[in-house]
Chain A
Amino acid sequence: MTNESYVKIVTEWDIVAARQLGRNLAKELGFGSVDQARITTAISELARNIYLYAEEGHIYIERIDHVGKSGMKVVAKDPGPGISDIRKVMEDGFSTSGGLGAGLPGVKRLMDDFDIVSNMGEGTEITVVKWLR
Chain B
Amino acid sequence: MQIQRIPILKLYNCLLVSIQLELDDQTALQFQEDLLNKIHTTGARGVVIDLTSVEVIDSFIAKILGDVINMSKLMGARVVLTGIQPAVAITLIELGIELREVHTALDLEKGLEKLQQELGGSR
Q: Chain A interface secondary structure, helix, strand, loop or mixed?
A: helix
- For B97, give its contact among A13, A40, A106 (CB under 8 Å): A106
Proximity string of chain A (93-121) to chain B, C-beta cutoff 8 Å, 1 when within and 0 when not: 00000011111011101100000000000
Would you call A16 an interface residue if the criterion is a C-beta within 8 Å of the partner chain's C-beta atoms?
yes
Also in contact, A34 and B59, with CB within 8 A (given A12-B24, A15-B25, A109-B95): no
Would you call B40 an interface residue if the criterion is a C-beta within 8 Å of the partner chain's C-beta atoms?
no
Least CB separation from A51: chain B residue: B25
Least CB separation from B22: chain A residue: A16
- For B58, give its contact among A33, A41, A105, A109 (CB under 8 Å): A41
A44-B96 in contact (CB<8A)? no
Least CB separation from B94: chain A residue: A109
A37-B88 in contact (CB<8A)? yes
Would you call A38 an interface residue if the criterion is a C-beta within 8 Å of the partner chain's C-beta atoms?
yes
| Assembled-state Cα–Cα distance A102/B95 (Å) | 6
A100-B91 in contact (CB<8A)? no
Interface size class of A (residues with CB under 8 A): 20 to 34
Proximity string of chain B (82-121) to chain A, C-beta cutoff 8 Å, 1 when within and 0 when not: 0001111011001111000000000000000000000000
What residues of A have a CB within 8 angstroms of the CB of B91 in the complex?
34, 37-38, 41, 110
What residues of B have a CB within 8 angstroms of the CB of A58 in the complex?
none
Would you call B12 an interface residue if the criterion is a C-beta within 8 Å of the partner chain's C-beta atoms?
no
What residues of A have a CB within 8 angstroms of the CB of B57 in the complex?
41
19 intermolecular pairs with C-beta atoms under 8 Å apart: A13-B24, A20-B22, A33-B85, A34-B86, A37-B55, A37-B56, A37-B90, A38-B87, A38-B91, A38-B94, A40-B55, A41-B56, A41-B57, A44-B56, A44-B60, A48-B60, A99-B59, A102-B62, A106-B94
Q: Which B residues are within 8 Å of any A CB, using their own CB?
A: 1, 22, 24-26, 55-60, 62-63, 85-88, 90-91, 94-97
